[in-house]
Amino acid sequence: MLSAQVDRFVHDRLPPPEQEPELRYDLPELQALQAPDTPLNLVQALFDRAQAHGHADRPFLRSDERTLTYAQARAEVNRLSNVLAQTGLQPGNRVLLRGGNSVAMALAWLAVVQSGLIAVATMPLLRATELKAIIDKSKPSAALCDAKLQDELKAALAQSPETAALPLRLFNTGDAVDGSLEALARHASDTATPCPTRADDIALLAFTSGTTGSPKAAVHSHRDVLAACETWPRHVLRATPDDIVMGSPPLAFTFGLGGLLIFPMWAGASVYFPSIPYTPEAMVKLIGQVGATLCYPAPTFYRQMAAFAQQHGIGKLRISVSAGEGLPDATRQLWKDASGLEMLDGIGATEMFHIFISAAPADVKRGAIGRVVPGYQAKIVDEQGRELPRGTVGRLAVKGPTGCRYLDDPRQAAYVQDGWNFPGDAFMQDADGYFVYQARTDDMIITAGYNVAGPEVEAALLQHPAVAECGVVGRPDDERGMIVVAYVVLKPGEVADAAQAKTLQDHVKHTLAPYKYPRDVVFVAQLPRTETGKLQRFALRKRATESATLPTPTTP
């Protein structure tokens, strides 16, 4: 069967065969997905599943302004698919999506993938510089953008003649705006034929900052995403059609995409998208007002929500999922004491699409994340890839029905070795098969659920005229898991004081997404380096860890 994706840009830039992950389809429910040429359109399959299970008239997408049933959402997706077809886009073209969590963003994503196009969703907080790097890598043929977020995208597109004229459609425009996505969709047919993609055709590019700061694009097929539905959601999460789901991770994260769109669709559940930004108190109140039964905040959010849960109660909430960063046991117990709920913890990766180690609330073991999710295999190995005895700390290696495939990136060889995926985490597996998280094995900083690459922050700081040198690492933090710490050597004549620290913090906030700014700026006389001049990040990490409970100096 020939691929329906006539634009072969992504297909032609997949890793060489020797660097491909070994995909396993060991579960009976995965057998039908094993053949790469099987006809499969992810969005069509999810809507068909809802129809077959009698969910067509059940609510699917909810907001304060409207609620769409599965049948109504499918009609809206069809209208948008017809609008995309009228623009001359070809299957396999990349479409950049920029928006917060909303009904309109969810519909746009579904329409792009149903049309055989490749969704490239971007974080709402990204600045023009970061968006430009994603655009340069993915080479989109069009962009769909929330009207409130258009300025940074337009600034990114204007930076080169090749992208300045890229077709751009706005959504969430409020009242009818000529040329907006909604306005065009109102005049389109609500019936459409989904693109006849095959299982191995590409559904999305998921961007993650590399430890060098250069973005990596993880490639996921229609088959990958549907296979992910048959693992953690089926065997651990076990959502039902009666569930109402809400949460804070953006749809541009695979964590948010799975938890707040794909997995609820697979279960026939509904998703609530708020009209206001979440705060810890607002989320607790909305859980009660909306009748949410399943939520997806990051661990940092749970810690902040605990007091409000005690004050306002948690309504009908029955499952609270934690992932995206390490879950301290103190946070787990704080939330349990406040809500009466045992947290459902898990670890996943953008490169693997979603969670592969987890434990249902009834199977929780304190201090551990959980066991390997059915459908996956995991082991702890040494630097040579040899499996280590239980109780020994080493590198986590994972294999299953999903795996890492970077778009045209030499870092593929480090992530996939001998068919196994290496997410970059140090773990220990105990005698009962539970995996206990230790630390990252690379320079990634995971703070409040966001991934931050130290070198990317360093590059931003070095653009400031006061900075001579800098090194950026993570420091353990009870509230956020880790915080970004910058060790800065100033140029001669510059003053190392609190005002200078704030100036540098503001500079980073205006250069990169605000969550990447260093919450601590430590001025030093020199940085630790090797004889060849290479920055010794491990020495800075050691210093940061040792100072975690001490006041941080602000002068050399």
Structure tokens at 40: 């499969």
Question: Is residue 10 exposed (0-12), middle (13-18) or buried (19+ Cβ within 10 Å)?
Answer: buried
* 142 CB-near residues (< 8 Å, 6+ apart): 84, 87, 89, 93, 95, 96, 166, 167, 168, 169
pLDDT higher for 323 or 226? 226
Give per-residue pLDDT as tens, 543-553.
988 887 544 44
Most confident of 205-214, 259-268, 536-545: 259-268
**Which amino acid is located at 227 in the chain?**
A
Q: What is the pLDDT of residue 414?
A: 94
Average pLDDT on 5-16 reads 96
Most confident of 274-278, 322-326, 517-521: 517-521
d(CA 120, CA 407): 12
d(CA 277, CA 280): 10
Average pLDDT on 245-271 reads 96
Question: Is residue 532 exposed (0-12), middle (13-18) or buried (19+ Cβ within 10 Å)?
Answer: exposed
d(CA 7, CA 140): 11
Query: Could you tell me if 335 and 314 are in contact, meaning their C-beta atoms sit under 8 angstroms apart?
Result: no
Q: What is the pLDDT of residue 288?
A: 96
Query: Could you tell me if 159 and 127 are in contact, meaning their C-beta atoms sit under 8 angstroms apart?
Result: no
CA–centroid distance for 544 within its chain = 26
Whole-structure pTM value: 0.85
Please tell me whether residue 2 adopts helix, strand or coil conformation. coil
Please tell me whether residue 5 adopts helix, strand or coil conformation. coil
**In the structure, what pLDDT confidence band is assigned to residue 178 with cuts at 50, 70 and 90?**
confident
The per-residue DSSP string of 298-331 comes to -HHHHHHHHHHHHHH--TT--EEEE-SS---HHH
Q: Are strands 319-322 and 294-296 parallel, antiparallel or unpaired?
A: parallel
Q: What is the pLDDT of residue 247?
A: 94
Q: Are strands 215-221 and 244-247 parallel, antiparallel or unpaired?
A: unpaired
Q: Are strands 59-62 and 67-69 parallel, antiparallel or unpaired?
A: antiparallel
Q: What is the pLDDT of residue 556?
A: 40
The yes-or-no verdict on residue 533 having pLDDT over 50 is yes
Query: Could you tell me if 539 and 547 are in contact, meaning their C-beta atoms sit under 8 angstroms apart?
Result: no
Nearest to 434 by CA among 384, 360, 342, 341: 360
Q: What is the pLDDT of residue 487?
A: 96
Give per-residue pLDDT as tens, 217-252.
999 999 999 999 999 999 999 999 999 999 988 999
Please report, to the nearest 10 degrees, the dihedral formed by the alpha carbons of residues 352, 354, 357, 358 taken in order. 180
Give per-residue pLDDT as tens, 134-152.
999 999 999 999 999 999 9
Give per-residue pLDDT as tens, 349-365.
999 999 999 999 999 99
Q: What is the pLDDT of residue 530?
A: 57
Q: What is the pLDDT of residue 534?
A: 61
d(CA 177, CA 320): 39
Q: What is the pLDDT of residue 237?
A: 97
Please tell me whether residue 243 adopts helix, strand or coil conformation. coil
Q: What is the pLDDT of residue 213?
A: 61
Average pLDDT on 52-76 reads 97
Q: What is the pLDDT of residue 555?
A: 40
pLDDT higher for 199 or 328? 199
The yes-or-no verdict on residue 383 having pLDDT over 90 is no
Q: What is the pLDDT of residue 370?
A: 94
Rounded to the nearest integer, the mean pLDDT of the chain is 91
Percentage of the chain exceeding pLDDT 90: 74
Average pLDDT on 20-34 reads 95
* 14 CB-near residues (< 8 Å, 6+ apart): 20, 219, 405, 407
Query: Could you tell me if 108 and 144 are in contact, meaning their C-beta atoms sit under 8 angstroms apart?
Result: yes
Sheet of 467-477: strand order equals 467-477, 481-490, 520-523
Query: Could you tell me if 500 and 523 are in contact, meaning their C-beta atoms sit under 8 angstroms apart?
Result: yes
Q: What is the pLDDT of residue 325?
A: 67
Give per-residue pLDDT as tens, 444-469.
788 887 878 787 888 789 889 999 88
- What domains are defined for the chain? 1-10+70-221 (3.40.50.980), 444-546 (3.30.300.30)
The yes-or-no verdict on residue 485 having pLDDT over 70 is yes
Give per-residue pLDDT as tens, 36-61.
899 999 999 999 999 999 999 999 99
Structure tokens at 192: 């459409």
List beta partners, residue 220.
204
